[in-house]
Structure 1
Amino acid sequence: MSPNPGTSAPATRHVIVMGVSGSGKTTIAEGVTEQTGWAFAEADEFHPKANITKMEAGTALTDEDRWPWLGALGAWMQQKSAEGTSTVITCSALKRTYRDVLRSGLDSLDFIHLDGPAEVIRERMGGRKGHFMPPELLQSQLDTLEALDADESGVFLDIRRTPEQVIDEAVAWLKH
């Protein structure tokens, strides 16, 4: 990547593949990572054990549960940025306030919002094996989800398309 004007630090990009659980974040983020060569992180791996235990028990997380998790994700992106490395992260990023925490300390942050009908997502969640997020919590995520605001850099992509199509659309958008 080319250096930023007036600095010796390389330019970096940071993107969050966002959406409710079951929308395909990991599949799409891994595909974007393959095509861009950027560093990848699965946000679920940053959750403290207490959060995972709550979700496994069918209890929705509160904002208080999420703040340390979001802070850890933001710190990881800031560290990678300081190293000159661009990143792709999967993260539900359900609320504007969560996205603001993630954006803190970065020059910019782009969002790829995976969107689709609840029935499609519910069906996908029912077919997953070994994930701690039960389908019963989908409605709480849908109720919490706030669409990207006009001043947030992002794109909405339809999850009813094939993963390959969504990945290609995401990468094309990132090249804009």
Structure 2
Amino acid sequence: MPETAPPVIVVTGVSGSGKSTVAALLAAQLGLPFVDGDAFHTPDNVARMRGGQPLDDRARAPWLARIRDWIDARLTAGAGGVVACSALKRRYREALTGGRAAVRIVHLEGDRALIRDRIAGRQGHFMPAALLDSQFAALEPPGPDEDPIIVGIAEGPDAIVAAVATRLGRPSDASGG
């Protein structure tokens, strides 16, 4: 029986939910390349967010297209991968997944106060805590028809990765090695 190509996993959630940390750990666990969606932002978008201005759909469209191109390249190569991307709205996730079963959504959800504390403790990130309310206002949590893997963030990154790996049918090594 031929082996199935690895999936491309899009780790979503509001800023501060742990997308980049979880996605990097998950990629390492699964032996897949990782890319942070923030790397696809233009300098203008980063400056806008750093200045406390949320991005609108027009500013997000080219960013999502660049991430979609990365996903398409991974799928074409049959190589899989993991990308961290807020993808707060259904239409953003649809733009990334294109309805393809090989692209899986992992959505991180958590308490606003916990996430605000995490953002306040970050060093050197362009996304200020002041934009968190706009993130929650824009958030359209994935519905069952998107077949998401939804994981709470209270347990921490290692527990999240273990839960996601199990849901993907690739349980982590419980011995830690």
| Alpha-carbon distance, 1:108 to partner | 3.1
Structure 1 CA distance, aligned partners of 2:92 and 2:2? 30
Structure 2 CA distance, aligned partners of 1:105 and 1:150? 13
Deviations 1:107-146 (A, max 9, x none): 5321111111000000000000000000000000000000
CA-atom RMSD in angstroms: 1.6
Runs of 4+ in 1 over 6 A off after TM superposition: none
Contact 1:78 1:105 in 2 (8 A): no
| Alpha-carbon distance, 1:12 to partner | 3.3
2:106 maps to 1:112: yes
TM-score by length of 2: 0.91
| Alpha-carbon distance, 1:13 to partner | 0.6
Q: Paired residue for 2:39, among 33, 40, 45?
A: 45
Percent identity between matched residues is 38
- The aligned counterpart of 2:89 is 95
> Aligned in 2, Cα 1:72/1:105: closer, same or farther, shift over 3 Å?
farther
TM-score by length of 1: 0.92
- The aligned counterpart of 2:127 is 133
Q: Paired residue for 1:166, among 157, 160, 172?
A: 160
Aligned length: 170
- The aligned counterpart of 2:80 is 86
Q: What is the DSSP-based 3-state SS (H/G/I as helix, E as strand, rest coil) of the residue aligned with 1:151? A: helix
| Alpha-carbon distance, 1:19 to partner | 0.3
Structure 1 residue ranges without an equivalent (≥5)? 5-10
Structure 1 CA distance, aligned partners of 2:77 and 2:99? 14
Contact 1:109 1:153 in 2 (8 A): no
